């Protein structure tokens, strides 16, 4: 069985003429790219390519990458919009009680009365606190990641229980 992959960056666009790519970080550990020899790239078409990193530089809040054998703007154009992925086993170790944002995606969200309001589709970073985007079909709710709202999180069961204030849910 193949190990699952986790996203650590999203390719925004080619930069310059020599195949450099601007990458939005999807990790809290940008220094990981310094020692990373290769990544898997899932293209927008759903194909997966393994690419050897030949050059990396910081340009906060982004990083810029070049890959072996891809030395022109045309050679990397098909990677635009792709997602950089690594095996889950290569994630950075966290301290006890730590978590990755990606651990929340797909988690079912329940009210304290056990009604399910949907699953976490994504997380919005606001600066003061994260906000979970919870979807159930067409209905979307934005749930602030606050201790006053979140009652319980069970990562093993991929389940969160919340007690939202009146008027928060649509």
Structural domains of the chain ordered from first start:
5-89 (2.40.30.60), 101-162 (2.30.30.240)
Q: Is 114 left (phi over 0), alpha (psi -120 to 50) or beta?
A: left
Q: Is 23 left (phi over 0), alpha (psi -120 to 50) or beta?
A: beta
Average pLDDT rounded to a whole number, residues 50-70: 93
pLDDT in tens, 1-28: 567 888 889 999 999 999 999 999 888 7
Q: Quote the pLDDT of residue 132.
A: 95
Task: Please state, rounded to an integer, the average pLDDT across all residues of the chain.
Answer: 91
Backbone angles phi, psi at 18, to 5 degrees: -105, 15
Q: Quote the pLDDT of residue 2.
A: 64
Closest CA to 23 of 9, 2, 6, 4: 9
Closest CA to 42 of 71, 4, 74, 73: 4
pLDDT in tens, 111-121: 999 999 999 99
The model scores a pTM over 0.75 = no
Please say if the pLDDT value at position 94 is more than 70: yes
Average pLDDT rounded to a whole number, residues 79-86: 94
CB 26 within 8 A of CB 7: yes
Average pLDDT rounded to a whole number, residues 48-72: 93
Average pLDDT rounded to a whole number, residues 105-112: 94
């Amino acid at each position: 069985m193949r190990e699952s992959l986790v996203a650590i960056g999203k390719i925004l666009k080619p930069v310059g003429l020599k195949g450099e790519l601007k990458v939005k970080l999807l990790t809290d550990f940008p220094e990981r790219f310094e020692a990373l020899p290769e990544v898997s790239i899932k293209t927008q078409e759903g194909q997966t390519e393994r690419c050897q990193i030949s050059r990396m530089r910081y340009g906060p809040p982004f990083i810029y990458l070049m890959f072996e054998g891809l030395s022109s703007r045309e050679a990397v154009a098909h990677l635009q919009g792709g997602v950089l992925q690594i095996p889950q086993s290569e994630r950075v170790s966290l301290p006890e009680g730590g978590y990755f944002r990606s651990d929340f995606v797909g988690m079912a969200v329940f009210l304290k009365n056990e009604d399910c309001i949907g699953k976490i589709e994504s997380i919005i970073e606001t600066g003061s606190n994260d906000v979970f985007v919870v979807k159930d079909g067409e209905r979307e709710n934005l749930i602030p990641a606050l201790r006053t709202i979140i009652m319980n999180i069970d990562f093993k069961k991929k389940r969160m229980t919340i007690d939202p204030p009146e008027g928060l849910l649509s």
